[in-house]
Structure 1
Amino acid sequence: MTITMPSGPALRRTPGLKIAFVAPARYPIREPYAGGLEAFCHTMVKALRQEGHEVDFFAAKGSDGNCPELELPGVNWGANPELATDTGYPDGEREREDRAFIALRQLLVRRGYDIVHNNSLSPWMFPSEDSPEELPMVTTLHTPLIDELQDVIARAGDAAGAFAAVSHVTAADWSTPHPIAVIPNGVNVSDWFPGPGGASAVWFGRLVPEKGPHLAIDACRLLGLPLLLAGRKGDHRYFQEEIAPRLNGESIRWLGELSHAGLRALVGSCAVTVVTPRWEEPFGLVAFESMACGTPVAAFARGGLGELLAHAPAALAAPDDVVSLAQAIHIALHIKRAKVREWVVGNHSLIQTARRYTDLYREVMVK
């Protein structure tokens, strides 16, 4: 069972709260962001502070605006950075991360926050022998089901706190003690501003198998449409096997990891953004960032991305189908840029998201 938090102009600023905002530990939370989850955490902290709340931000060492007295460790790949992935750990690093989250939870209990907003994937944010006390906590589910985390939530029962999810598709994957509030992510529509468009397609994000950028390349080749790729190598083996052989230095180019200002300028100066999830994408922030620039989106209709774009001015394709994707790109090229921008501003602005979360925080506080 899920509930959808209200949106729209009826939401108003209310007196400030004392909030602990917990990020995942793997990467520093700063621009350029390692991924959509990191972008969500950083921009939400800024929005909540802008709304007048006191926010202590707990994140990995090297993050922007986090609390220095307790920093999460990140993942150290030592002399083997080519082995780095977005999900694995070298020897000893998972245990180091676990100890950090236990210490963090103990600190949060001592400080007595009005609300703890947990965006980590750590089971140690929930009650355990090391920290059995309850917390007034909201956990946002940013991923499909993770068995280890689901088991901890089931054992904790009511003490697990409240839950939100970024889409109904994601919420349906999980079982929680109470209904999950569905609060889609938001985009800073001031930072992601309209651009003039251009002649090329763009794909941006983490270059990993589950994001499928090689399929974007194949679809653009079918159309004879130039494609620019921008983002971090999240899986070195995948990049060498699937991306590098498809690059030609002319019509298909990888620009590397750009600053956020550079990325916004790039997206705004392209004709279409191609989004190619090969997993049940919980949200797909890149699509909404692109649309805030006025750049239309062609995407695989998969997971929360397919759900949230179903009635948007966007073009959806059958998952994993390159021909269908090429057809969607052709359709997206003819969508009016002003209409795309208007839809995102009306439905997915960051301040709307922050105020929906504030309403949920207050519901949790009075229970």
Structure 2
Amino acid sequence: MALIGPARYPVREPYAGGLEAFCHTMVSALRELGHEVDFFAAEGSDGNTKDFELPGVDWGDRAEDATDTTYPEGGRERENAAFIELRRLLVARGYDVVHNNSLNPYIFPSEASPEPLPMLTTLHTPMVDEIQDAITAAGLRAGRFAAVSRTTARDWRLPTEPVIIPNGVNVNLWRPGPGGETAVWFGRLVPEKGAHLAIDACRAAGIPLVLAGRNGDHHYVRDEIAPRLGDGVEWIGELSHAELRGLVANCGVAVVTPRWEEPFGLVAFEAMACGTPVAAFRRGGMGELLRDAPACLAPADDVDALAAAITRARGLDRDVVRRWVVDRHSLCQTAKRYTDIFRQVAAFAKVGQ
């Protein structure tokens, strides 16, 4: 089978974001289950197919302008051309199943490349107009779909009913720890992740906070994060995954502050796998998937309510928190669910030949 990852950043530790983490860990889990997986991802990825790599995004000497959603001059055109070529390669190689996790419309059938692929696309984001247009144009030829939450699935117009498969956490790596007095926020420092609100809420609750993550938007960090540092708030930058797991396991609460309709929110589940309770905004898939969890949720963007949730979350039983994730959201469970869908996709493709 083939698995297509995101094209913007290399898929390797430390992961640029949750999508990169999902793809890398899923490839490993599928291979451990005995599947032969060709992994197509950005140049410099770990464990990917080296005879065809996606170009990635290189801002060169314009790093201050870099964001996770825009491109330098010519960058989008290079990515589109690479996906057109990748689609031709996938058709030529005749894979049993193609698992698409990319955010590029040219992986779907079009007039230029109408050949069908036995493809399952997982929707990791709210609707993206150009991808929606490609799916609509392809119709049933677009293949099958999965979504990481019902919230995300409802945002798209799809030719077939999607299966809901929440992401999974490697609970053998995200191990329980003793906790501590400090709160932690980890992820990409970008406006839609709302780290500045985590700072405000922890300060209101009187709890020190450590931020760990990559600067994904220099203007946001300069304007919203840097002025708030100090006085019990520290940003320690990007960590290796081992370092990050150790940090989270030794904190008393993880704060998760989506300012968009968060499709899943992997960081919340990683924290809970360490036994670290979560205080989060009730938004998007986060509110859906944590509704019955041992976690404390607050209305979106309500800093005072989040401060109260942080205080409550610190009192949750860490063993109960971890057990909830192990029972419902382990990576092994997720990989097995995908395997069942892959078999269906492959069988349907053979019938149609």
- Shorter-chain TM-score category? over 0.9
**Partner of residue 74 from structure 1, selected from 56, 64, 89:** 56
Which residue in the other structure is 1:117 paired with?
99
Percent same amino acid at aligned positions? 69
Runs of 4+ in 1 over 3 A off after TM superposition: none
Q: 2: CA distance between counterparts of 1:112 and 1:327?
A: 55
Q: 1: CA distance between counterparts of 2:200 and 2:252?
A: 17
Equivalent position amino acid for 2:236 in 1 = L
**Partner of residue 287 from structure 2, selected from 306, 313, 316:** 306
Compute the displacement of 1:128 (Å).
2.0
Q: 2: CA distance between counterparts of 1:46 and 1:131?
A: 30
Equivalent position amino acid for 2:220 in 1 = Y
Compute the displacement of 1:48 (Å).
0.3
Q: 1: CA distance between counterparts of 2:53 and 2:113?
A: 18
Within a 5 Å distance, the mapping from 1:280-295 to structure 2 comes to 280-295=261-276
**Partner of residue 225 from structure 2, selected from 213, 235, 243:** 243
RMSD across aligned positions (CA): 0.6
Within a 5 Å distance, the mapping from 1:78-157 to structure 2 comes to 78-157=60-139
Unaligned runs of 5+ in 2: 349-353
CA distances 1:189-233 after superposition (whole Å, capped 9, x unpaired): 001000110110000000000000000000111111000000000
Which residue in the other structure is 1:11 paired with?
none
Q: Secondary structure at the match of 2:37?
A: strand
CA distances 1:164-211 after superposition (whole Å, capped 9, x unpaired): 000000000011111010000000000100011011000000000000
Compute the displacement of 1:330 (Å).
0.9
Which residue in the other structure is 2:300 paired with?
319
Which residue in the other structure is 2:315 paired with?
334
Which residue in the other structure is 1:355 paired with?
336
CA distances 1:41-76 after superposition (whole Å, capped 9, x unpaired): 000000000000000000000000000100000011
1:38 equivalent in alignment to 2:20: yes
Which residue in the other structure is 1:259 paired with?
240
Equivalent position amino acid for 2:87 in 1 = R
Within a 5 Å distance, the mapping from 1:166-181 to structure 2 comes to 166-181=148-163
Compute the displacement of 1:293 (Å).
0.3
CA distances 1:78-134 after superposition (whole Å, capped 9, x unpaired): 111111000001111100000100111100001111100000011010012332200
CA distances 1:116-170 after superposition (whole Å, capped 9, x unpaired): 0000011010012332200000000000011111111011011000000000000
Q: Secondary structure at the match of 2:77?
A: helix
Q: 2: CA distance between counterparts of 1:366 and 1:34?
A: 35
Q: Secondary structure at the match of 2:211?
A: strand
Q: 2: CA distance between counterparts of 1:102 and 1:192?
A: 37
Equivalent position amino acid for 1:309 in 2 = L
Which residue in the other structure is 2:351 paired with?
none
Q: TM-score, normalised by structure 1?
A: 0.94
**Partner of residue 208 from structure 1, selected from 190, 200, 220:** 190
Q: 2: CA distance between counterparts of 1:86 and 1:307?
A: 25
Unaligned runs of 5+ in 1: 1-18
Which residue in the other structure is 1:269 paired with?
250
Q: TM-score, normalised by structure 2?
A: 0.98
Q: 2: CA distance between counterparts of 1:268 and 1:209?
A: 26
Q: Secondary structure at the match of 1:360?
A: helix
Equivalent position amino acid for 1:206 in 2 = R
Q: 2: CA distance between counterparts of 1:62 and 1:270?
A: 32
Q: Secondary structure at the match of 1:71?
A: coil
Instruction: State how many pairs are aligned.
Output: 348
Which residue in the other structure is 2:175 paired with?
193
**Partner of residue 166 from structure 2, selected from 155, 174, 184:** 184
Compute the displacement of 1:254 (Å).
0.2
